[in-house]
């Protein structure tokens, strides 16, 4: 990536190449960290770590005030327009809002320590709570700095800082385990606080070094430029995005985990938290979370023909759908063996949670696609209409978690997400948002998955001596073969890969082209 001096353009393909390379490394390390923590902590210790992590993620979203998406939407455009005065004003407002939100969060943590220490905070002492406060502050600042770096296509900075963070975190836990020390959830929280601030320092130093060269952060393109955006409009945009975030947050994985704690016993809650965390880690390797954050700054900076935008989003969704269905086949047939292998034996009976939790995450990817369509078209006021649905969802979850347990924490978020997606689809029916989902070809992919599962069940009936893992691998392989025959991708969708595909990965692009018709 070339940002060493003025009058030099960023190489987008090179930036994405570095970004994806380190992101895959981070995914592997994060997956290893998940397994390491669940293997070393007893169910009670893992429950402590899981609930504090859920509170952190919930507070970060609750107090985000739309900052992240506003940076992704406005910083690329203001930079490309050369509106540095507007850019400076925007960043000052963001800094003030973030500083205020951290103060509010610290006050909220103090209230939790006073009134909910023995319940929600698992009876942890003040040292753990202080470490958690530091962890939250570092995580919130890191999120903003990462969005700013991605807005300027400085992907390597965020990727490398993430790698260092998870490496240090894993190394500390591993060293404690090898030295014979007893590891607790509180120790993992303290380690996370320190490593998160290391990541903050790395990103901040890079952005400070980049400051004199902001004028060079332009992207050479033949695309038509968007009309100029004014930084004065950013607060309204942020408010609408915040409304969307709150609507999503109310039944997000972190909030669902908090509600689940009150309705599940320790082992069930720990198993649910592990499965949820494992699915989130795996989904980060799926195309939705891997590609969409990289595409959004490009959509914000340049106008693209609607057909091309929908083609890009449809490609991402179909690849996400293929990954989800392959995961569901594998875990549905051999989930018990997989859970026993990567976690603790007492969590194995909860293997059925794997495809169900991943289905909830798939719905969130669909909602993310709808958000991007709405954000690019600046029709974000529709998000305000989603609040009643989300409030009803959280009320239903609160009232039923104690009585229905896992049934409530699984199916209420699914229902609420489906209703929100339906409302946005209805609001954007005139701009053909359905093209981003491509229902007909997506249904073909789903049918291929159903046929593969049917084959596995028939094979199990004919040959009971076949192991579950063997059947799962065979069924997954058959599914990929069927997808290759069905070829669900469209040629214009594959052409959109040129936005992010570096030259070194053209062989992968050609392989994906074979799925197109």
Span 203-210, mean pLDDT? 78
Question: Greater confidence, 58 or 121?
Answer: 58
Question: Greater confidence, 186 or 300?
Answer: 186
pLDDT tens for each residue of 15-51? 566 666 767 777 788 888 888 888 888 888 888 888 8
Tell me what pLDDT residue 7 has.
37
Tell me what pLDDT residue 299 has.
62
Residue 86 CA to chain centroid, in angstroms?
A: 30
How far apart (Å, rounded) are the C-alpha atoms in residues 53 and 403?
A: 25
Span 116-126, mean pLDDT? 78
Tell me what pLDDT residue 329 has.
92
Tell me what pLDDT residue 223 has.
45
Tell me what pLDDT residue 135 has.
92
pLDDT tens for each residue of 461-503? 888 777 888 888 899 999 999 988 888 877 776 666 655 555 5
- Mean pLDDT over all residues of the chain? 78
Tell me what pLDDT residue 1 has.
37
pLDDT of 202 > 90? The answer is no
Span 355-369, mean pLDDT? 87
Tell me what pLDDT residue 14 has.
61
In order of 318, 363, 368, 455, 499, the CA distances from 437 in angstroms are: 8, 12, 12, 27, 19
The model carries a pTM of 0.75
Most confident of 86-90, 409-413, 437-441: 409-413
Tell me what pLDDT residue 292 has.
72
How far apart (Å, rounded) are the C-alpha atoms in residues 263 and 261?
A: 6
DSSP, residue by residue, 210-250: HGGGGGG------SPBPPPP-GGGHHHHHHHHHHHHHHHHT
Question: Greater confidence, 75 or 269?
Answer: 269
Q: How confident is the model at residue 9 (pLDDT cuts 50, 70, 90)?
A: very low
* Sequence-ordered alpha helix ranges (H) in 116-125: none
pLDDT tens for each residue of 320-344? 889 999 999 999 888 888 888 888 8
Span 420-428, mean pLDDT? 80
pLDDT of 10 > 60? The answer is no
Span 263-284, mean pLDDT? 85
How many percent of the chain have pLDDT more than 90?
7
Backbone dihedral angles phi then psi of residue 229, each to the nearest 5 degrees: -100, 145
Tell me what pLDDT residue 301 has.
52
In order of 41, 209, 295, 297, the CA distances from 74 in angstroms are: 43, 21, 14, 9
pLDDT of 260 > 60? The answer is yes
Span 189-212, mean pLDDT? 83
Tell me which residue has tokens 């190489």.
11
Tell me what pLDDT residue 113 has.
87
pLDDT of 80 > 70? The answer is no
Most confident of 202-211, 255-264, 448-457, 499-508: 448-457
Residue 336 CA to chain centroid, in angstroms?
A: 25
Tell me what pLDDT residue 325 has.
92
Tell me which residue has tokens 């179909």.
318
Determine whether 460 is exposed, middle or buried from the number of CB atoms within 10 Å of its CB (0-12, 13-18, 19+).
middle
pLDDT of 376 > 90? The answer is no
Q: How confident is the model at residue 6 (pLDDT cuts 50, 70, 90)?
A: very low
pLDDT of 423 > 90? The answer is no
What ranges do the domains of the chain cover? 12-511
pLDDT of 104 > 90? The answer is yes
Most confident of 4-13, 78-87, 186-195: 186-195
Contact, 20 vs 501, CB < 8 A?
A: no
- Burial of 369-406, coded b for 16+ CB within 10 Å and e otherwise, reads bbbbbbbbeeebebbeebeebbeebbebbeebbeebbb
In order of 140, 434, 486, the CA distances from 430 in angstroms are: 37, 10, 29
Span 294-307, mean pLDDT? 57
């Amino acid at each position: 990536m070339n940002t060493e001096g003025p009058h030099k353009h960023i190489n987008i393909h090179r930036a994405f190449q570095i970004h994806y390379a380190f992101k895959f490394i981070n995914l592997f390390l994060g997956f290893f960290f998940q397994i390491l923590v669940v293997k070393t902590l007893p169910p009670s210790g893992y429950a402590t770590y899981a609930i504090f992590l859920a509170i952190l993620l919930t507070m970060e979203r609750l107090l985000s005030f739309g900052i992240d998406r506003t940076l992704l939407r406005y910083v690329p455009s203001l930079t490309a327009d050369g509106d540095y005065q507007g850019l400076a004003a925007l960043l000052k407002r963001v800094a003030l809002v973030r500083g205020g939100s951290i103060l509010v969060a610290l006050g909220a943590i103090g209230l939790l320590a006073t009134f909910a220490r023995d319940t929600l905070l698992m009876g942890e002492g003040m040292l753990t709570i202080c470490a958690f406060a530091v962890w939250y502050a570092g995580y919130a600042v890191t999120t903003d700095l990462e969005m700013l770096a991605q807005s300027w296509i400085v992907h390597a900075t965020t990727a490398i800082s993430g790698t260092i963070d998870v490496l240090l975190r894993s190394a500390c836990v591993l060293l404690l385990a090898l030295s014979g020390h007893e590891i607790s959830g509180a120790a993992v929280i303290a380690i996370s606080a320190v490593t998160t601030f290391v990541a903050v320092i790395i990103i901040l130093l890079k952005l400070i070094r980049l400051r004199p060269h902001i004028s060079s952060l332009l992207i050479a393109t033949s695309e038509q430029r968007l009309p100029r955006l004014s930084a004065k409009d950013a607060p309204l945009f942020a408010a609408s995005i915040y409304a969307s975030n709150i609507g999503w947050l109310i039944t997000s994985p972190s909030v669902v985990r908090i509600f689940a704690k009150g309705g599940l016993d320790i082992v069930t809650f720990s198993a649910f938290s592990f499965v949820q965390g494992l699915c989130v880690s795996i989904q980060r390797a799926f195309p939705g979370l891997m590609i969409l954050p990289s595409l959004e700054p490009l959509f914000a900076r340049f106008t693209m023909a609607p057909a091309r935008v929908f083609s890009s989003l449809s490609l991402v969704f179909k690849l996400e759908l293929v990954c989800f269905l392959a995961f569901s086949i594998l875990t549905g047939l051999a989930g018990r063996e997989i859970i026993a292998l990567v976690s603790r034996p007492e969590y194995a009976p909860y293997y059925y949670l794997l495809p169900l939790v991943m289905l909830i995450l798939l719905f969130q990817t669909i909602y993310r696609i709808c958000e991007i369509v709405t954000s690019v078209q600046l029709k974000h006021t529709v998000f305000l209409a989603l609040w009643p649905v989300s409030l009803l969802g959280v009320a239903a979850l609160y009232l039923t978690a104690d009585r229905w347990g896992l049934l409530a924490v699984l199916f209420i978020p699914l229902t609420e997400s489906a209703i929100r997606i339906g409302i946005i689809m209805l609001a954007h029916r005139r701009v053909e948002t359905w093209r981003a989902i491509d229902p007909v070809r997506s249904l073909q992919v789903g049918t291929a998955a159903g046929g593969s599962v049917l084959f596995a069940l028939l094979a199990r009936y004919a040959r009971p001596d076949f192991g579950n893992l063997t059947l799962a691998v065979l069924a997954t392989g058959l599914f990929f073969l069927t997808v290759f025959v069905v070829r669900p991708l469209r040629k214009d969708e594959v052409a959109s890969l040129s936005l992010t595909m570096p030259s070194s990965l053209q062989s992968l692009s050609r392989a994906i082209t074979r799925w197109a018709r």
